[in-house]
Structure 1
Amino acid sequence: MALDASTFETLTPSRFISFTIPHPSCSNSLLRVAVLDSPLQPNELPRVGAMLVPEGREIDWIFSTELGHLQLLLSSPEISRLILIGNNFKQGTLLFPRHVYQRPLQCSLHQQGFEVWSKPLLLALSPKSLFKRGIPEVPVLSYVDNLVSSMVVHQCVGMHVGEMLVEDVEIENGGEVLHHGREFRRRLRFKRMPNLIQTEICIVPVKEGGGLDGVCIGGNVGFVPDLKVLVHPYLGPMVASLVLSSEYVAGRIQNGFKPKALCLGVGGGALASFLRTQLGFEVMAVDSDREVLRVAHEYFGLEESKFIHVVVGDAFESLKKLVCQGKLQDDCEVNGFSGHLVEDKVNVKFDVVMVDLDSSDMMNGVSSPPIEFVRKDVLLAAKLVLSEFGILVINVIPPSRYFYDNLVSHFQEVFHELYKIDVGNGENFVLIATSSPLVFPARDCVNSFLVRLKSVIPEAYLNSITKI
């Protein structure tokens, strides 16, 4: 059925249409065109932006799904309509394992006179209101990131998160000379949040004699996880928050106790593994999706042991069950939740609770933590499982100023002091809440735990903590 050109004359919030057209410069192929209108209506004249899909990445969820398109659009809030143009792919095509992407030196669409033949198409796909001041210019953007090459190594479906994939990538390292200018990583991504990397770790090639000559994604050399460094942008700042309680943690260690951490949200397990291997914590890690945990074990180096306990369960319910267990009552109830998270009566007070949970409502953009976590009963439960000078650490992606102000207000009602670290990527910051007033001059003290912390976390993060 032919597409009616008048369809595009008006903006319709959240409308998504995709279709194919003959390739003007290649008679045997088609181009896929996707048009998405913003869920937010403009107050003034609408703005239209076009984007070229990177050649070779047409089947990537970022460019082949409506949610991927939405996140691209929301990353440019001034855009009212986003038009994506790229080589066609068959609907239902999967990101199959062993398919290797290599970034081309130049976009072939540019080489084929795209700027000339695309202009009438882009104008035909622009709303009428855009022409009130004459014939508009529709800017054409190229999607740019640090990806050099990639290969999907595993795909599966989780009960709660849905479709997910594990991919090995080579990236540009932003000027930091690592691995002689080359850097390899492993990523976990969910289809429901296609533009967001859930977990990212360093991987190193398994190769006799070392060196990176002949090493490439998709080649004959395998890779293994390197868990000694945190590369995901906000994980380093989350761990840096421990500087606030370093004197207390050092005292616990000196008295023969292992510091305890509760991680709500596991992903690939990079944070839990780092706390255990690099800082000597005993860790309990909770995630609602058993398949995510299997992937973390198999591909990201998460290992259960005497000092890493992995629990399948809902983060909020688990918190409240831990509160019950801490009271040593067999039949206690907190807001409808009862029972025990684990069988034995262990000490369930934690020196740090680290929260890395995302909102499941991706139609309104990426946000963290879920709004459910800001309920007072959940925050009280989090405070109750903390030790006397324990801290609650949360990765925050605020979709709006209102979200941020509301979050801070709710935390101030429950906790004594709030601190934050700006991650520096324009998206995340780390919120730190203390269960008691801090009595240790964190930046002035010198202790064995702080020395260890400074050896594994950039000191810039440690020094960038500010009080709210």
Structure 2
Amino acid sequence: MAIDPSTFESITPSRFICFTIPHPTCSDSLLRVAVLDSPIHPTDSPRVSAMVVPEGRETDWIFSTELGHLQLLFTLPQMSRLILIGNHFKEETLPARVYSRPSECSFHQQGLHVWSKPLLLALSPRSLFKNGVPEIPLLSYEDNLVSSVVLHACVGCHVGEMLVEDVEIENGVGHGREFRRRLRFKRMPNLIQTEICVVPERDGGGFDEVCIGDDVGFVPDLRVLVHPYLGPMVASLVLVSGYLEGRIRNGFRPTALCLGVGGGALLTFLRAELGFEVMGVDSDREVLRVARKYFGLEECEFVHVVVGDAFESMKKLACHGRLNGCEVNVFGCHLVEDEGKRRFDVVMIDLDTSDVRNGVSSPPLEFVRKDVLLVAKLVLCEYGILVVNVIPPSRFFYDSLVNRFKDVFHELYKIDVGNGENFVLIATVSPLVFSVDDCGNSFLMRLKSVIPESYINSITKI
């Protein structure tokens, strides 16, 4: 069905239209054009940008779904309309199993900047022409992905469709080749839910002979946290390192409650590198299955994982000390008991919103409520800390979060992750009375040996 050209003369919030056109320089192929209007930005002075879909990644959820387009649009400040141009694909096609980045973009070789201009002008709102013929910027999508292979695709009852991928990435000049395993959800395709290091399974030959997509298996290497905000979350433990050292010297393991498990990298790291006992809570059983099979999550005496809602699980822990019939005192006698409640040394929250249309936010909006923070405080011990991965979709969200935390907790600290998106918020139940620079603190020395000191040194009080 033909599209009326007047359709694009005005901005209609959240409108998404896809269509195909003949390729101007290849008579036997088609181009897919997608037009998305922002749900939130003003329409009286619109801004329009266009983006070229990387060749070979047309079926990636980032470029083939409305939610992927929406996340791309949100990365462009104050943009009213985003136009994507790429090679045509069948809408029901799954993401390509194997991808390798081409050395050159044939679109640019085919004079894209010349033949795309009339198309982009035709897809621009009329108000954009009030000062003459506008210049529509034509952007190229760039990331550090060199190649990828889809290992597994499945559907979770809460998160929906998900993919497990092995990828090769560029990691700066002189760092050599680096391989990662990633978990992504279709509902937020541009957001990597979990990322861990992987190494070739076979011995000998080195990395130079290994390529993604070959008959080479990779196995998890969980000694280093590579997800951008996990290192800063763990660095927050420096604030209570003196307290934790005292507990360890008295023969007790530190305890952590992790809300949001994903691939389980944080749980595994806390246990293996810092000697914690950890309880993880995740709402989706399928995510936990994937974590066990592909990301090295192993339940044992010191790692316990349950399926459940994060807030409801905290309430059960605060009131009864039980989750899904599991006694929390599996952690042993070192947990402080207070009127039947079980207490943790640290609660770490790594949850994000399930609706990208409101902008990516972490934690979900319901975790900004005071009653939720009060329950989180109840499951913490006297010198415990609450650590939250935060992606604020707006200044109002950030201010509300900080104000609510100040109403409930004694002190607030933060760590800027440095990626322009995340920061880590740390709330203390009690005043900090322990020295951070105690050279006799073996826990602190261990923490500094596994987490970059730059994160530790960047902790600031709010």
Q: Which residue pairs with 1:359 in the alignment?
A: 353
Q: Does residue 1:224 correspond to 2:207, yes or no?
A: no
Q: In structure 2, what residue type is equivalent to 1:141? A: L
CA RMSD of aligned residues (A): 1.3
Pick the aligned partner of 2:206 from 192, 211, 214.
211
Counterpart secondary structure, 1:145: coil
1:142 to partner: Cα distance: 0.3
Pick the aligned partner of 1:110 from 95, 108, 120.
108
1:175 to partner: Cα distance: 3.2
Counterpart secondary structure, 2:327: coil
Compared with structure 1, are the counterparts of its residues 125 and 367 closer, same or farther at alpha carbon in structure 2 (3 Å cutoff)? same
1:45 to partner: Cα distance: 2.5
Cα distance in 2, alignment partners of residues 247 and 340 from structure 1: 30
Pick the aligned partner of 2:193 from 188, 198, 203.
198
Contact 1:151 1:169 in 2 (8 A): yes
Q: In structure 2, what residue type is equivalent to 1:107? A: C
Contact 1:325 1:341 in 2 (8 A): no
Cα deviation, 1:354-406, whole Å, max 9, x if unaligned, reads 00000112101100001111222211111111111111000000011110010
Counterpart secondary structure, 1:403: helix
Any residues of structure 2 matched to 1:41-80 within 5 Å, and which? 41-42=41-42, 45-80=45-80
1:443 to partner: Cα distance: 3.9
Pick the aligned partner of 2:318 from 306, 317, 323.
323
Cα distance in 1, alignment partners of residues 27 and 197 from structure 2: 43
Contact 1:247 1:445 in 2 (8 A): no
Counterpart secondary structure, 1:213: helix
Cα distance in 2, alignment partners of residues 176 and 42 from structure 1: 44
Counterpart secondary structure, 1:192: coil
Q: Does residue 1:456 correspond to 2:458, yes or no?
A: no
1:349 to partner: Cα distance: 1.3
Contact 1:261 1:283 in 2 (8 A): yes
Q: Which residue pairs with 2:12 in the alignment?
A: 12
Contact 1:187 1:199 in 2 (8 A): yes
Cα distance in 2, alignment partners of residues 62 and 100 from structure 1: 16
Any residues of structure 2 matched to 1:205-284 within 5 Å, and which? 205-209=200-204, 211-284=206-279
Q: Does residue 1:173 correspond to 2:171, yes or no?
A: yes
Cα deviation, 1:60-111, whole Å, max 9, x if unaligned, reads 0000000100111111122211100000000100125xx2101011111111
Counterpart secondary structure, 1:303: coil
Any residues of structure 2 matched to 1:20-39 within 5 Å, and which? 20-39=20-39
Pick the aligned partner of 1:187 from 182, 191, 206.
182
Q: In structure 1, what residue type is equivalent to 2:327? A: D
1:445 to partner: Cα distance: 5.5
Any residues of structure 2 matched to 1:377-456 within 5 Å, and which? 377-443=371-437, 446-456=440-450
Counterpart secondary structure, 2:28: coil
Pick the aligned partner of 1:311 from 302, 306, 310.
306
Unmatched runs of 5 consecutive residues or more in structure 2: 330-334, 336-341
Cα distance in 2, alignment partners of residues 184 and 386 from structure 1: 37
Counterpart secondary structure, 2:134: coil
Counterpart secondary structure, 2:212: coil
Deviates more, 1:50-59 or 1:365-374: 365-374
Compared with structure 1, are the counterparts of its residues 82 and 172 closer, same or farther at alpha carbon in structure 2 (3 Å cutoff)? same
Unmatched runs of 5 consecutive residues or more in structure 1: 327-338
Compared with structure 1, are the counterparts of its residues 345 and 118 closer, same or farther at alpha carbon in structure 2 (3 Å cutoff)? closer
Pick the aligned partner of 2:157 from 153, 156, 159.
159
Cα distance in 1, alignment partners of residues 231 and 307 from structure 2: 25
1:123 to partner: Cα distance: 0.6
What TM-score results when the alignment is normalised by the length of structure 1? 0.94
Cα distance in 2, alignment partners of residues 232 and 277 from structure 1: 17
Contact 1:324 1:340 in 2 (8 A): no
Cα distance in 1, alignment partners of residues 21 and 359 from structure 2: 30
Percent of aligned pairs with the same amino acid: 76
Compared with structure 1, are the counterparts of its residues 436 and 341 closer, same or farther at alpha carbon in structure 2 (3 Å cutoff)? farther
Contact 1:260 1:351 in 2 (8 A): yes
Cα distance in 2, alignment partners of residues 43 and 85 from structure 1: 23
Cα distance in 2, alignment partners of residues 345 and 277 from structure 1: 20
Counterpart secondary structure, 2:304: strand
Cα distance in 2, alignment partners of residues 352 and 156 from structure 1: 32
Q: Which residue pairs with 1:329 in the alignment?
A: none
Deviates more, 1:210-219 or 1:65-74: 210-219
Cα distance in 2, alignment partners of residues 210 and 27 from structure 1: 45
Pick the aligned partner of 1:343 from 295, 302, 326.
326
Q: Which residue pairs with 2:91 in the alignment?
A: 91
1:224 to partner: Cα distance: 0.2
Q: In structure 2, what residue type is equivalent to 1:64? A: S
Q: Which residue pairs with 2:338 in the alignment?
A: none
Cα distance in 1, alignment partners of residues 303 and 174 from structure 2: 32
Contact 2:352 2:360 in 1 (8 A): yes
Deviates more, 1:134-143 or 1:87-96: 87-96
Compared with structure 1, are the counterparts of its residues 363 and 209 closer, same or farther at alpha carbon in structure 2 (3 Å cutoff)? same
Q: In structure 1, what residue type is equivalent to 2:99? A: Y
Cα distance in 1, alignment partners of residues 149 and 114 from structure 2: 34
Structure 1 residue runs of 4 or more that deviate by more than 6 Å after TM superposition: none
Cα deviation, 1:236-277, whole Å, max 9, x if unaligned, reads 000000000001111111111011010000000000010011
1:208 to partner: Cα distance: 1.7
Deviates more, 1:206-215 or 1:264-273: 206-215
Deviates more, 1:65-74 or 1:37-46: 37-46
Contact 2:55 2:86 in 1 (8 A): yes
Cα distance in 1, alignment partners of residues 18 and 440 from structure 2: 60
Contact 1:325 1:345 in 2 (8 A): no
How many residue pairs are counted as aligned between the two chains? 451
Compared with structure 1, are the counterparts of its residues 422 and 42 closer, same or farther at alpha carbon in structure 2 (3 Å cutoff)? same
Contact 1:46 1:130 in 2 (8 A): yes
Cα deviation, 1:137-166, whole Å, max 9, x if unaligned, reads 111000000000011110000000000000
Deviates more, 1:377-386 or 1:409-418: 377-386
1:341 to partner: Cα distance: 4.1
Cα deviation, 1:21-55, whole Å, max 9, x if unaligned, reads 00111111100000001112437521110000000
Q: In structure 2, what residue type is equivalent to 1:17? A: I
Cα deviation, 1:399-429, whole Å, max 9, x if unaligned, reads 1111001000001111111000000000000
